[in-house]
Amino acid sequence: MRYLFTLILLLTLTCESVANQRTFEQAQEPIFVGDIALFVPVELLPSDSKLVALKETDSGYLIEWDEADGASFYYVEQLVNGVWQQVGSDVWHQAGSNANNLSMTISGKSSSQFRVVACGQYGCSKQAVNQNVIANGDLQLSQFTISKPEITRGQKSALSWEVHNASSVKIVGSDGSIYKNLPTSGSLSIYPWAFTNYTLLANGFGQALHASQGIVVNEHRDVIQTPFTNYIEPLRNMGYDVIARSLVALPQGVMFSTHDEKIALVNKSGVVLWEKQLDGVVANMGNYDADSNRVFVSVSKMDGTGQTCSIDINNIDNYNCVTTSSSAISRPVVIELASSANSETEAPMKLVASIDMKGNLYVMDKQTLNLTHEVTTLPTQVAKYGVTANIAAVPNSSDLIMRVSEREYASISIAEVPVGGCHSLSSCAQSMFSLFSNDSATDEQAPPKLEVKLNWVKEHKE
C-alpha cells in the first residue's frame, strides 16, 4: 500500500551565504513514496523579533529586542547616508536562555535608524525589523486585566495588557502555557481547562515588571431530567445563583455564597436569616469556628486583590475583613501557634491563618482579625503554581497540609521567630547590632516575625 507523509529533517548539506560570508545549512524535507525517499530542499528560517526598542544615551544609543523563534544569533544594521550597514559583531544567543543579552550599545549618533535581523541554522529571516519602540522613560505596566475571572470549561476569556518602554513582553500560565513575542499592548483569547494563574512579564533596559491574573474554571453541569414534583428549589426560586462548593453547615442552617458577590444564611425551613453584599466572590467553603461562633471566608476581588473576612453568624453587622495583596481562594484555617516568649507550660495562641494565591501568609486574631505577625511568604516549592486549593490544619498544631500541584501535596510548619534570639547566623548578627542601635525601641514595637518550614512534598498516586 502506497502512502505519502512529510517529516522535517535536519540535513547537513552545507552551503555558503554570499552576504557577510556566513555559513548555513540547507534544510531538506524527505518525501516517502512506498519505500523510496526523495529529499527536497525547503526553506526553514527563524521568525522575526516582534519588539525592537531604542533608547538614547549620552554617548549614543542602546538597542534591545525580543527573542525570535529558531534564531541562534542576530545582527544589527544602521541606516547611514541612505545605506544599511552592519554595526558591531553578531550577537549570539542560546534559545531559552536569559534574554537580557539581546542588546547592543551603539557609540555615536550619526543615525537613529536601526533594524535587527534574526539568523538560525538554515539562514536569516527575510525581513529585518526596524525599531518600533522608542523608550523615553522607565518601564511601565499600565494594564493587565482579564475579561472573565470565572468561566465554565470550554468558554473563552481574554487577557488585555498595556506596557510602555519595553523590549520584551510575554505571558506565562501556571498550566505551562507560554505566549511570547507579544506587542506592548493587545489582547489574547484563552481557553483554560482548569484554574490557571497568568503572569505578564515585561522587560526593558535593565528593568522588569510583572502582574498576575487568575481565572476559575468550573466544570460543565449536565441537565438531569427528573420527574416533576411540587417541590421548588427555594434558593434558586429566590434569585440566588449559589456557588455549590461554598455551602457550609452551621447550627442555624446553611451558609452559602453567590456568583454576584453575596453571602447568606438560610435555615432548615428555607427562610433566609440574613444576607450580606461583599466586595468580591467567596469561591470556597467558609471555616466555622465554634469557640468564637464565627465563620472565616476568603474573598477574591475583580482588581486582583483579596480579603480574609470574619462573620458573626448571630449578628451579620459584626463583620470585618483584612485585605490581601492578591486574590484569596483557599479558605482560612485556625491554628495553634506557640509564642517564642512563652514557656512550654503556657497554652499556644489560637489564631486565624490565611494564604492568598501568591503564597503570602497572614496570621490574625480570631476576634478582631488584626494581624498578629508580619506577613510571610511561603517557600517557592509550595507557592510556585499559585495557592487555590483548600488547606487543612493539623489539629492542636501550627502545621498545614496543602495541595501544591495537580498531583503533589506538601506539609509546612509555622513558628514564631524568637525576638532578639539567635536562631540563625544572620539573626545573631542582627541581635548584636540592635544592642548598639537607636532603632531598638522601634524593633520592640514591631510585630513578631514568622518562619515557615517545608516538612515534605509527596506525590499523590491513584
The whole-angstrom separation of Cα 392 and Cα 343 is: 27
Question: pLDDT value at position 94?
Answer: 78
Share of the chain above pLDDT 90, in %: 49
Question: pLDDT value at position 181?
Answer: 87
- State whether 280 and 150 are in the same domain: no
- State whether 363 and 343 are in the same domain: yes
Question: pLDDT value at position 221?
Answer: 67
- Provide φ and ψ at 428, rounded to 5°: -65, -40
CATH, residue 155? 2.60.40.2470
Question: pLDDT value at position 218?
Answer: 86
- Provide φ and ψ at 198, rounded to 5°: -105, 130
> Over 80: is that where the pLDDT of 286 sits?
yes
pLDDT, greater one: 95 or 132: 132
Grid coordinates in use for 316? 451579620
Residue 139 banded pLDDT, cuts 50, 70, 90? very high
Strand bridging mode 360-365 / 349-355: antiparallel
The whole-angstrom separation of Cα 401 and Cα 25 is: 54
Alpha carbon distances (Å) from 125 to 68, 87, 306, 410, 439: 10, 18, 46, 47, 60
- State whether 249 and 381 are in the same domain: yes
Residue 381 is classified by DSSP as H
- Is residue 156 included in any domain, yes or no? yes
Q: Per the structure, how many domains does the chain have?
A: 4
pLDDT tens per residue, range 302-326: 888 999 999 999 999 999 999 999 9
pLDDT, greater one: 292 or 6: 292
- State whether 144 and 130 are in the same domain: no
Let me know if 78 is exposed, middle or buried by CB neighbors in 10 A (0-12, 13-18, 19+).
buried
Worst-scoring range by mean pLDDT, 81-90, 112-121, 433-442? Answer: 433-442
Mean pLDDT on 87-111: 82
> Over 90: is that where the pLDDT of 164 sits?
yes
- Is residue 429 included in any domain, yes or no? no
Let me know if 390 is exposed, middle or buried by CB neighbors in 10 A (0-12, 13-18, 19+).
middle
- State whether 163 and 115 are in the same domain: no
Separation of CA 391 from chain center: 19
- State whether 271 and 353 are in the same domain: yes
- Is residue 212 included in any domain, yes or no? yes
Residues 6+ apart with CB under 8 A from 216: 149, 150, 151, 195, 283, 300, 329
pLDDT, greater one: 308 or 343: 308
- Is residue 2 included in any domain, yes or no? no
Residue 99 banded pLDDT, cuts 50, 70, 90? low
Mean pLDDT on 135-162: 92
Question: pLDDT value at position 406?
Answer: 78
Asked which of 357, 385, 400 is the last residue of a domain, the reply is 400
Let me know if 276 is exposed, middle or buried by CB neighbors in 10 A (0-12, 13-18, 19+).
middle
Strands lying side by side in the sheet with 349-355: 333-337, 349-355, 360-365, 376-377
Question: pLDDT value at position 11?
Answer: 37
Q: Are 48 and 30 in contact (CB under 8 A)?
A: no
Share of the chain above pLDDT 70, in %: 84
The whole-angstrom separation of Cα 382 and Cα 399 is: 14
- Is residue 456 included in any domain, yes or no? no
Question: pLDDT value at position 19?
Answer: 42
Q: Are 369 and 322 in contact (CB under 8 A)?
A: yes
For the chain, what is the largest distance between any 2 Cα atoms, rounded to a whole number of angstroms?
89
Mean pLDDT on 126-155: 89
Asked which of 117, 134, 151 is the last residue of a domain, the reply is 134
Question: pLDDT value at position 38?
Answer: 86
* Beta-bridge mates of residue 273: none
The whole-angstrom separation of Cα 192 and Cα 215 is: 8
> Over 90: is that where the pLDDT of 277 sits?
yes
Worst-scoring range by mean pLDDT, 175-189, 194-208, 395-409? Answer: 395-409
CATH, residue 357? 2.40.128.630
Nearest to 372 by CA among 402, 350, 347: 350
- State whether 268 and 387 are in the same domain: yes
CB burial string 310-344: b at 16+ within 10 A, e below: bbebeeeeeeebbebebbbbbbbbbbbbbebeeee
Residue 343 banded pLDDT, cuts 50, 70, 90? low
- Is residue 183 included in any domain, yes or no? yes
Alpha carbon distances (Å) from 399 to 9, 163, 262, 335: 54, 41, 31, 8
Question: pLDDT value at position 420?
Answer: 60
- State whether 258 and 390 are in the same domain: yes
Q: What share of the chain is helix, strand, coil (3-state, %, to 5)?
A: 5, 45, 45
pLDDT tens per residue, range 223-260: 666 566 555 566 777 888 899 889 999 999 999 999 99
The whole-angstrom separation of Cα 435 and Cα 457 is: 40
Q: Are 25 and 121 in contact (CB under 8 A)?
A: yes
pLDDT, greater one: 456 or 424: 456
- Range of 29's domain? 9-41
> Over 50: is that where the pLDDT of 333 sits?
yes
- State whether 127 and 145 are in the same domain: no
The whole-angstrom separation of Cα 219 and Cα 150 is: 11
- Is residue 358 included in any domain, yes or no? yes
The whole-angstrom separation of Cα 64 and Cα 102 is: 6
pLDDT, greater one: 424 or 130: 130
Residues 6+ apart with CB under 8 A from 100: 203
- Is residue 434 included in any domain, yes or no? no
Question: pLDDT value at position 77?
Answer: 92
* Beta-bridge mates of residue 311: 295, 319
Asked which of 93, 115, 134 is the last residue of a domain, the reply is 134
Residue 127 banded pLDDT, cuts 50, 70, 90? confident
Question: pLDDT value at position 444?
Answer: 53
Mean pLDDT on 39-67: 89
Question: pLDDT value at position 446?
Answer: 80
Residue 379 is classified by DSSP as P
Nearest to 53 by CA among 108, 110, 102, 107: 102
Grid coordinates in use for 437? 542601635
Residue 344 banded pLDDT, cuts 50, 70, 90? low
- State whether 63 and 119 are in the same domain: yes
- Provide φ and ψ at 82, rounded to 5°: 80, 5
Grid coordinates in use for 79? 541606516
- State whether 297 and 389 are in the same domain: yes
Q: Other CB atoms closer than 10 Å to residue 14's CB: what's the count?
A: 8
- State whether 75 and 122 are in the same domain: yes
> Over 70: is that where the pLDDT of 14 sits?
no
